[in-house]
Structures are given as structure tokens and as C-alpha cells.
């Protein structure tokens, strides 16, 4: 009986050894599937990283717009210019790793201002530029003074010869600020 048990044990070990590994074809199929999944996911992942960087500029230019509106109300109908950028009280650095922030216009006697986020690297950047604008106007029906703001996003990234944040927002007397060429209103 002991020899019979030994024989069955040996047969069991031999059969286990034959079924124990993967073939080269199985490994290649798994590697190909992983490669296809990576090829599909990688562009989407890279795009998300750029969107996260662009959200910085959207947030900052929107904050600059709101800061300009508050500055206008507090400083007797004057918008902050580039020299008074810190007077907006936003705590925003004029240069970050991805964008350079600036104010175009503003100052005494000016009824509009542009807030710009130009991507670092200009036409070599994979990021979009942003422009914001604030104008002072009087409501026709109530004769009340008010400020109007808009936020614009470049249609293409700088790398794709898109808007670079070099030109400001256009103004029509008494109207909403108008986005520069190659940009779209987002807010």
C-alpha cells in the first residue's frame, strides 16, 4: 500500500509540473492587451494634466475680474493697472510655472480693464491662454453705475498657433466686454 501511495504521489507531482506555467503565446497576448489599453489611456491622461494647469489660469483671471470690480467700487471709479496689481488684494503672483498674469489698461479716467493670463512658452506651450475684462457702464433704465465682466478662453493651445494672451478684451461703450479673436466666452 505504501508503494501504491508513492506512485500516486509521483503521478500527481508529474501532472502538476506539466500544467504549471504560461506559454510564450499567452504572455504575448497579455502584453499586447496591456499595450493597447495604455495607448488608449495615455493621451486622455496627458490631456487631464493640461486641463488641471489651465484651471489655475481660469480661476486666477476670474478672481482678477472680481478683484477689479471690487477695486473700482472702493477706489472711486478707478480700475487697477499693472503697477497696482497688488492692490487687488488677491495674493496672486504675476508669474507662475505655467502662466504670466498681467493687467492691460486701467488707471485714472479709464472705464475698462483687461486681465490676461499668457501661457509661459507662448507658441510652444500646450496650454490655452485666458483673457478677462471688466467695464464700467450705466444702466439705461435706472441710471445706476455697474460693472460688467467676461472671461474668455483661447480656442487652441499656444502650440497649435492659438491665442497667446497678448491682446486684451475689446469694449463697446455701454456694452459687455468682447473676447479677442481666437477666443470663446466661457463665463
**Which of the four pLDDT bands, split at 50, 70 and 90, describes residue 10?**
confident
Task: Report helix, strand or coil for 99.
Answer: strand
Report the number of distinct structural domains present in the chain. 1
Give the closest residue to 117 by CA, choosing from 79, 164, 186, 182: 164
Task: Report helix, strand or coil for 168.
Answer: coil
Give the closest residue to 88 by CA, choosing from 118, 109, 117, 115: 115
Q: What range defines the domain where residue 149 resides?
A: 53-185
Within-domain flag for 19: no
The dihedral built from the CA positions of residue 117, 120, 124 and 127, taken in this order, carries a sign that is negative
Per-residue pLDDT for 91 more than 80? yes
Q: In a 10 Å sphere around its CB, with 0-12 CB exposed, 13-18 middle and 19+ buried, how is residue 63 labelled?
A: middle
Within-domain flag for 3: no
Tens of pLDDT, residues 147-169? 889 999 999 888 888 888 888 88
Tens of pLDDT, residues 116-135? 999 998 778 889 999 999 99
Within-domain flag for 39: no
Within-domain flag for 21: no
Amino acid at each position: 500500500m505504501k508503494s501504491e501511495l508513492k506512485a500516486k504521489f509521483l503521478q500527481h507531482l508529474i501532472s502538476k509540473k506539466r500544467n504549471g506555467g504560461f506559454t510564450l503565446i499567452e504572455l504575448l497576448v497579455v502584453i499586447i492587451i496591456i499595450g493597447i489599453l495604455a495607448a488608449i489611456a495615455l493621451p486622455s491622461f496627458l490631456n487631464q494634466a493640461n486641463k488641471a494647469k489651465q484651471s489655475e489660469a481660469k480661476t486666477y483671471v476670474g478672481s482678477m475680474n472680481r478683484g477689479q470690480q471690487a477695486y473700482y467700487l472702493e477706489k472711486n471709479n478707478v480700475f487697477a493697472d499693472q503697477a497696482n496689481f497688488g492692490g487687488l488684494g488677491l495674493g496672486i503672483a504675476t508669474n507662475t510655472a505655467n502662466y504670466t498674469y498681467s493687467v492691460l489698461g486701467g488707471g485714472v479716467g479709464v472705464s475698462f480693464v483687461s486681465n490676461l493670463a499668457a501661457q509661459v512658452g507662448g507658441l510652444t506651450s500646450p496650454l490655452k491662454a485666458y483673457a478677462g475684462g471688466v467695464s464700467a457702464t450705466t444702466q439705461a433704465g435706472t441710471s445706476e453705475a455697474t460693472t460688467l465682466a467676461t472671461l474668455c478662453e483661447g480656442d487652441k493651445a499656444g502650440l497649435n498657433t492659438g491665442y497667446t494672451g497678448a491682446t486684451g478684451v475689446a469694449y463697446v461703450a455701454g456694452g459687455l466686454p468682447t473676447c479677442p479673436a481666437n477666443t470663446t466666452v466661457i463665463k
